[in-house]
Structure 1
Amino acid sequence: MESFARAVEIVLKDSELKDAPGYCPTAALWAYAVQHCGYVQSRHATGRVLVTA
């Protein structure tokens, strides 16, 4: 859950300055947030390596 909250935090902080009516975070921003939220890194650290999609 902590990783999920961190991903949302990354998106919200990045979107803060871009906020406007109709704004929607891009798929690339969500992908960046998922890669940098710590989830993948924690899976590697605990030996539960995920298969690359």
Structure 2
Amino acid sequence: MRLGQKGGDKMVYKCGEKPGIGRYICTKCGAPKNLDNSTDTLAPCSRCRNCTFNKV
């Protein structure tokens, strides 16, 4: 199973995916989300409840 989808020139990750350790930014409001473990799952944005993120 392939994680993320190509959105313009960036990969877009959705809630429920396990994209790996790193910093992710909500595509709607820009709120940051950090994943500290490779088994962490992306949850909805805590600020706006959006479910798509870019890795930075």
TM > 0.5 fold call:
no
Higher relative contact order (CA 8 A, sep 6+): 1
Q: Give 1 or 2: higher strand fraction.
A: 2
Q: Give 1 or 2: higher helix fraction.
A: 1
* Structure possessing the higher radius of gyration over alpha carbons: 1
